[in-house]
C-alpha cells in the first residue's frame, strides 16, 4: 500500500504534479473551523448512539477541542500530502491522540463531510452579507429623508425625462436591496439542511442519528435524500446568483455616482477619503471606489457562470469536479461584503449639490409632460395635447424659449381654455410634488416610502 489515507488498494503513488493538482488544502483550509465543528457533532453522536464507546468518543472529542485551540492560536500546519482539509485534520488528530483518531470516520465519508463543511461555511456568512445590505439600506433611507424635496432630472435613455425627487431615486435602490435581502434569506433556508450522515451516497448501516448532528450544528433540518445531500450544490449556485444580482444593483448605482461626479453633471461630490488622485494630473479626483465595485460585479458574475458550468452535466452522486465549487464562493463572500461597506460609506459621506440638480431641470423641457397633462385636464384628448406640446418644444428649441416663457396670449391662441394657472404646473418642483399616485415621486409618496422603510429596518 502507498502512504495515503486511502492507500490500501494502491501499489504506486502519484507524482508530485498529480498530488498537487488533486489537492484542495491550499484553499479548503478556509473551512478548517467548520470541519472541526462537523467532526465534533459527529463524534458526540457516535458516542450517544453507542456506535463508539464513551471512552473512545471522549478521547476524540478532547483531541478535536485541542485542535480547535491550536487552530485559533495559528498553530495548525497543513500539508499538501494530506490532500484536503478533512484528511489534514484527521492526520493532525492522529498526531494528537494516536490511532483511536481513526474511529472518527466511522459512518461518515468525505462526501457528506465536505458538503457539511461547505453548508456550515455559508450558513455563517449569510447573516454577515444580510447585515451589510441592511447597513447600506439604512444609509439610503437616511439620505432620502434629507432629500425628499431635492429636485433633479429623472432620466430615460439617459435623456432628461421628468423631474424627480432625489429621495425617490435613492428609495428605488432601497427597494432593490430589500429584494436582495429576501433572496439571501431564502438562501439561508436552503443552506440550513444537514448533509451529515448521508455518508458516501447511500447512507449507512450504523444506527446514526442525523437529527442529532443537525441540531448540534444549528441546521434547521436534514436532507431527506442521501444522494441529494452529497450532490447538491444549488445552495451555492443560489448564493452566487443572489450575489450577482446584488452586484448588478451596486454596479448600476456606481455607474450613476461616476457620472454624477463628473464636471458635466456635478450633482455629487465624493469625500476625499473615498476618492483618489492621479500620479500625473494634479487636479484629478477620481471615483475609484465606485469604479472598483462596478468592476467587481464582473468577477462575481464569473463565479456564478463557473459553478453553473461545472455542475451542469455531473451525474449523481459525488464527482471530483465538485472540488471546484469552493474558491468562487469564498471569493464572492470576500468581494460582496466589502463592496457593500464601501458603497455605504461612500454614499454617506458624499455631498449632494442640490442647486446644480435643480438647475438641471430648468430649460430642459422636462416639464413637457406637465403641459400635455394640463391640456388633457382641459378636455383636449391626450394624443392631441402631446402633438401640440411637441410642436411647442420644437419651436422652443429653435428660439431658446422654454415652455414657461411662452406668453399667455400665445397659449390662448392654441386653446382658449388655457389659463394663468398653467405656469404653476410648469415648475419642476410642482411637477414632482403633485405626483401623488402610489409609489410616485410626489413628496407625500416619498415620505411614505421612507416611513415604511424605517419601520422595516427597525423590525429587521
Contact yes or no for 204/115 (Cβ under 8 A): no
Which of 152, 155, 165 has the alpha carbon at shortest distance from 435?
165
**Interface region with ligand ARG, contact rule CB under 6 A, candidates 221-229, 278-286, 316-324, 365-373:** 316-324
**Interface region with ligand ARG, contact rule CB under 6 A, candidates 124-132, 178-186, 219-227, 317-325:** 317-325
Give me the long-range contacts of 252-259 (CB less than 8 A, separation at least 24). 253/173, 253/343, 254/290, 254/291, 254/293, 254/294, 254/343, 255/290, 255/294, 257/287, 257/290, 257/346, 257/347, 257/350, 258/287, 258/290, 258/291, 258/294
What is the CB neighbour count within 10 angstroms for residue 237? 17
Give whole-number Cα distances, 355 to 142, 150, 403, 407, 442, in Å.
20, 9, 21, 27, 19
| Least distance in angstroms from the C-beta of 334 to ligand ARG | 19
The 8-class DSSP code of residue 150 comes to -
CA distance 13 to 439: 67
121 vs 411 by CB, closer to ligand ARG: 121
CA distance 430 to 447: 16
User: Is the dihedral angle over the CA atoms 134, 138, 140, 141 positive or is it negative?
Assistant: positive
For position 323 contacting ligand ARG by CB under 6 A, the verdict is yes
Please list every residue from 259 through 298 that binds ligand ARG, using CB under 6 A: none
| Least distance in angstroms from the C-beta of 249 to ligand ARG | 31
86 vs 143 by CB, closer to ligand ARG: 86
| Least distance in angstroms from the C-beta of 313 to ligand ARG | 17
| Least distance in angstroms from the C-beta of 323 to ligand ARG | 4
For position 24 contacting ligand ARG by CB under 6 A, the verdict is yes
Please list every residue from 57 through 116 that binds ligand ARG, using CB under 6 A: 84, 110-111, 114
| Least distance in angstroms from the C-beta of 434 to ligand ARG | 60
CA distance 204 to 437: 62
| Least distance in angstroms from the C-beta of 115 to ligand ARG | 9
Q: Which of 12, 15, 157, 313 is catalytic?
A: 157
85 vs 418 by CB, closer to ligand ARG: 85
Classify 109 as helix, strand or coil: coil
| Least distance in angstroms from the C-beta of 170 to ligand ARG | 42
Classify 4 as helix, strand or coil: coil
| Least distance in angstroms from the C-beta of 190 to ligand ARG | 19
**Interface region with ligand ARG, contact rule CB under 6 A, candidates 232-240, 315-323, 352-360, 421-429:** 315-323
For position 320 contacting ligand ARG by CB under 6 A, the verdict is yes
Classify 269 as helix, strand or coil: strand
Query: Could you say which of 212, 317, 322, 360 contacts ligand ARG (CB under 6 A)?
Result: 322
88 vs 445 by CB, closer to ligand ARG: 88
DSSP labels for 348-387? Answer: HHPEE-HHHHHHTTSSS-TTHHHHHHHHHHTT--HHHHHH
Instruction: List the grid coordinates of 238.
Output: 443560489
23 vs 212 by CB, closer to ligand ARG: 23
Which of 199, 186, 201 has the alpha carbon at shortest distance from 235?
186
30 vs 149 by CB, closer to ligand ARG: 30
**Interface region with ligand ARG, contact rule CB under 6 A, candidates 69-77, 159-167, 251-259, 320-328:** 320-328
Residue with cell 455631498: 351
Instruction: List the grid coordinates of 360.
Output: 438641471
Residues 6+ apart with CB under 8 A from 437: 445
Total residues at interface with ligand ARG (CB under 6 A): 10
72 included as an active-site residue: no
322 vs 453 by CB, closer to ligand ARG: 322
| Least distance in angstroms from the C-beta of 336 to ligand ARG | 22
Bridge partners (DSSP) listed for residue 194: 222
Please list every residue from 355 through 384 that binds ligand ARG, using CB under 6 A: none
Alpha-carbon 119 to chain mean position: 18
Q: Which of 72, 278, 424, 455 is catalytic?
A: 278
- Give percent helix, percent strand, percent coil of the chain, each to the nearest 5: 65, 5, 30
78 vs 174 by CB, closer to ligand ARG: 78
39 vs 441 by CB, closer to ligand ARG: 39
Instruction: List the grid coordinates of 299.
Output: 468577477
77 included as an active-site residue: no
By annotation, the residues acting in catalysis are 157, 278
Which residues of this chain interact with ligand ARG, rule CB under 6 A? Answer: 24, 28, 84, 110-111, 114, 318, 320, 322-323
Amino acid at each position: 500500500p502507498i502512504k495515503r489515507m486511502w492507500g490500501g488498494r494502491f501499489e504506486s503513488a502519484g507524482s508530485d504534479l498529480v498530488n498537487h493538482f488533486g489537492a484542495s488544502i491550499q484553499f479548503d483550509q478556509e473551512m478548517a473551523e467548520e470541519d472541526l465543528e462537523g467532526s465534533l457533532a459527529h463524534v458526540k453522536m457516535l458516542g450517544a448512539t453507542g456506535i463508539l464507546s464513551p471512552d473512545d468518543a471522549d478521547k476524540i472529542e478532547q483531541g478535536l477541542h485541542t485542535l480547535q485551540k491550536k487552530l485559533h492560536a495559528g498553530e495548525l500546519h497543513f500539508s499538501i500530502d494530506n490532500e484536503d482539509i478533512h484528511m489534514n485534520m484527521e492526520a493532525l488528530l492522529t498526531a494528537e491522540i494516536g490511532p483511536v483518531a481513526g474511529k472518527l470516520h466511522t459512518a461518515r465519508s468525505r462526501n457528506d463531510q465536505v458538503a457539511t463543511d461547505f453548508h456550515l461555511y455559508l450558513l455563517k456568512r449569510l447573516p454577515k452579507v444580510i447585515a451589510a445590505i441592511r447597513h447600506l439600506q439604512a444609509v439610503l433611507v437616511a439620505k432620502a429623508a434629507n432629500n425628499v424635496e431635492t429636485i433633479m432630472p429623472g432620466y430615460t435613455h439617459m435623456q432628461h425625462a421628468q423631474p424627480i425627487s432625489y429621495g425617490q431615486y435613492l428609495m428605488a435602490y432601497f427597494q432593490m436591496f430589500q429584494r436582495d435581502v429576501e433572496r439571501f434569506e431564502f438562501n439561508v433556508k436552503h443552506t440550513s439542511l444537514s448533509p451529515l450522515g448521508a455518508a458516501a451516497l447511500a447512507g449507512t448501516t450504523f444506527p446514526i442519528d442525523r437529527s442529532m448532528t443537525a441540531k448540534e450544528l444549528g441546521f434547521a433540518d436534514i436532507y431527506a435524500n442521501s444522494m441529494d445531500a452529497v450532490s447538491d450544490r444549488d445552495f451555492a449556485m443560489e448564493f452566487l446568483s443572489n450575489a450577482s444580482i446584488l452586484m448588478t444593483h451596486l454596479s448600476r448605482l456606481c455607474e450613476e455616482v461616476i457620472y454624477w461626479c463628473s464636471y458635466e453633471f456635478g450633482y455629487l461630490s465624493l469625500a476625499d477619503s473615498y476618492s483618489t488622485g492621479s500620479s500625473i494630473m494634479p487636479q484629478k479626483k477620481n471615483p475609484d471606489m465606485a469604479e472598483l465595485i462596478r468592476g467587481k460585479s464582473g468577477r462575481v458574475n464569473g463565479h456564478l457562470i463557473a459553478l453553473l458550468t461545472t455542475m451542469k452535466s455531473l451525474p449523481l452522486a459525488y464527482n471530483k469536479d465538485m472540488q471546484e465549487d469552493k474558491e468562487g464562493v469564498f471569493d464572492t463572500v470576500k468581494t460582496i461584503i466589502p463592496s457593500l461597506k464601501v458603497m455605504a460609506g461612500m454614499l454617506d459621506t458624499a455631498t449632494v449639490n442640490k442647486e446644480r440638480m435643480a438647475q438641471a431641470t430648468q430649460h430642459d423641457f422636462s416639464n413637457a409632460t406637465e403641459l400635455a397633462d394640463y391640456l388633457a385636464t382641459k378636455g383636449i384628448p391626450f394624443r392631441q395635447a402631446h402633438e401640440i406640446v411637441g410642436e411647442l418644444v420644437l419651436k422652443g428649441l429653435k428660439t431658446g424659449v422654454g415652455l414657461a416663457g411662452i406668453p399667455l396670449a400665445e397659449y390662448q391662441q392654441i386653446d382658449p381654455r388655457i389659463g394663468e394657472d398653467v405656469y404653476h404646473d410648469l415648475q419642476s418642483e410642482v411637477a414632482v410634488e403633485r405626483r401623488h399616485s402610489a409609489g410616485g415621486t410626489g413628496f407625500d409618496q416619498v415620505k411614505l416610502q421612507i416611513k415604511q422603510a424605517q419601520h422595516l429596518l427597525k423590525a429587521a
